Amino acid sequence: MTITEKILAAHSGRDKVSAGELINAKVDLILANDITAPISITEFKKIGAGNVFDKERVAFIPDHFAPQKDIKAAEQCKMLREFSREYDLSLYFEVGRMGVEHALLPEQGLVGPGDLVIGADSHTCTYGALGAFSTGVGSTDVASAMATGECWFKVPESMKFIYYGKLNRWVSGKDLILHTIGDIGVDGALYRAMEFEGEVIRLMSMSGRLTMCNMAIEAGGKNGIIVPDDITEGYVKGRAKRAYKFYASDKDAGYVEVKEYDCSKIPLTVSCPHLPSNTKPAAELSSVSIDQVVVGSCTNGRIEDIREAAEIIKGKKVSPNTRMIVIPATQQIYLQCVKEGLAEIFVNAEAVFSTPTCGPCLGGHMGILAKGEKAIATTNRNFVGRMGDPGSEVYLSNPAVAAASAVKGRIAIPEEVI
C-alpha cells in the first residue's frame, strides 16, 4: 500500500484498503474557521447532537475575516466563541492566540505524522507535509464528524512526483509546486493523493514541504503527502501534543501515474491570471506592473518565508507606485520577526507589517484589489476576483520574487535588486 492507503486502513480498522473503496474512518482532528464553522455549528445543532465526540480534537480558528472586519464577521466569530464555551473546546483560538490555521496547527504540535485530519477548508491538505492524511471537506461533513468522530472517504488513487537535481538560487518549494501544477493542470490530480519524493524533497525544510502539500488542492488533489523522515522527526519532536506514527509507502505500492522533474531546469516560477496552472518563468514577466504585493498566507507565511523576503528588501524601499503587505502567519512568527529585526526592515522599507490573518488571500480584508489593479502574492489561488474586484489580477510567486517585485513596482527576480 501507499502511505495514504496505510493511514486510511489504520483509521478504518482494516488491514488493507484499495483505491476506489468507500470507507468510514476515525479522525484525529477536525478544524474549521470563521467562514465554515458557523455552517457546521448550525448543522450540528440541527441533527440534535448532544456533545462533540472529543473536546480536545475540535479546533476552531477565526482567521479569515479576523480581526473582525465588520459586523457580519463579528457575528460569525462570536458563533465560534460561544460554541467553544458551551462545549468546553480546548482548541479555540481567539484573536491574539490565533494564526492562519494551516500554519498554527503544525506549529502548535496539534497535527502530526500518521494522523487523519479533516477541515472545512480546502487547504487542509497542508499537513501531509508531516506524513499525515489531511484533506478538506464540507461544513456538513465537519458537523457530522464533530458528533461521531468519523468521516467517510473514497480511497484516492495515488500519483508519485519525484524531484531530483539541484535547486537554482532562490527557487523553493513554491516554485516546484507551481511548476508541477503548470505541468499537469488544475485537474491533473483530481481526487488523487499527490505523493512527493526524491532527493530534493529529502533535503527540503519543513517549511518548503508544507508549501508544496498546501497547494495539492490547486491540482485537484485529494491530499498531498510526504513520507516522514529525520526532518519530520526534528520538526515534531518536542512540539507534538499527541503520540504519532511514521508510515511509509511499500516499494511495490501501486501508483496510477509517476512524474519526474529535474529541478535544475525549474526556474523562478509565477502563476499568471486566472489559474494556478497558468505558469511562466518570472524572468519573462518584467513588463507586468504591480499595484500590490502580499507576503503571507497559509502557503508562505512562515518565518523562513518572511526572512527570505526581508533579505531581498533590506535597505531598500517599496516602489512609490506599489503597496506591500507582510503578514506573519502566527503570533509566534510575528514575535520572532520582531526579535530578529525583520518587522523593522519591512517598516523601514515602507511596507505594512500586519497581525496574522488570511484577509487579503480570499479578498476578505487587509488588501482588497480595485478594478484594474494587479497584485503579486505568495498565496495559493488566483481565480477571477479572488483578491477583490473581478477586474483585478493576481499573480502567484515565492517570497523572494514578491519582495523583488515590491522594490521594482513590477514583476522582478531577486538578482535585479540585490
Instruction: Locate the domains of the chain by residue range.
Output: 3-260, 271-416
Q: In CATH, which of 3.30.1240.10, 3.30.499.10, 3.40.50.300, 3.30.360.10 is domain 271-416?
A: 3.30.499.10
Per-residue pLDDT, 302: 98
Task: Give the pLDDT confidence score for residue 246 in this predicted structure.
Answer: 98
List, in order, residues 6 or more apart from 47 with CB less than 8 Å away.
143, 144, 147
Q: From CA 145, how far away is CA 328, in angstroms rounded?
A: 31
29, 115 Cβ separation under 8 angstroms: yes
- pTM exceeds 0.85 for this model: yes
Q: Which residues are 33's β-sheet partners? A: 61
Q: Do domains 3-260 and 271-416 have the same CATH topology?
A: yes
Nearest Cα to 325, choosing from 309, 339, 307, 303? 309
What is residue 125's predicted lDDT score, i.e. its pLDDT? Answer: 97
Contacts 24+ apart (CB under 8 A), 135-142: 135/222, 135/223, 136/217, 139/32, 139/36, 139/37, 139/39, 139/40, 139/43, 140/39, 140/40, 140/43, 142/30, 142/32, 142/36, 142/37, 142/40, 142/118
R_g over Cα of the chain: 20
What's residue 181's pLDDT?
A: 98
CATH class label, 3-260: alpha beta
Please give the pLDDT value at position 367: 95
- pLDDT truncated to tens, each residue of the chain (418 aa)? 999 999 999 999 999 999 999 999 999 999 999 999 999 999 999 999 989 999 999 999 999 999 999 999 999 999 999 999 999 999 999 999 999 999 999 999 999 999 999 999 999 999 999 999 999 999 999 999 999 999 999 999 999 999 999 999 999 999 999 999 999 999 999 999 999 999 999 999 999 999 999 999 999 999 999 999 999 999 999 999 999 999 999 999 999 999 999 999 999 999 999 999 999 999 999 999 999 999 999 999 999 999 999 999 999 999 999 999 999 999 999 999 999 999 999 999 999 999 999 999 999 999 999 999 999 999 999 999 999 999 999 999 999 999 999 999 999 999 999 9
**CA-to-CA dists, residue 9 to 14, 16, 158, 318, angstroms:** 5, 5, 15, 51
**What is the spatial distance between Cα 394 and Cα 387, in angstroms, rounded to a whole number?**
7
Please tell me the predicted confidence (pLDDT) of residue 355: 95
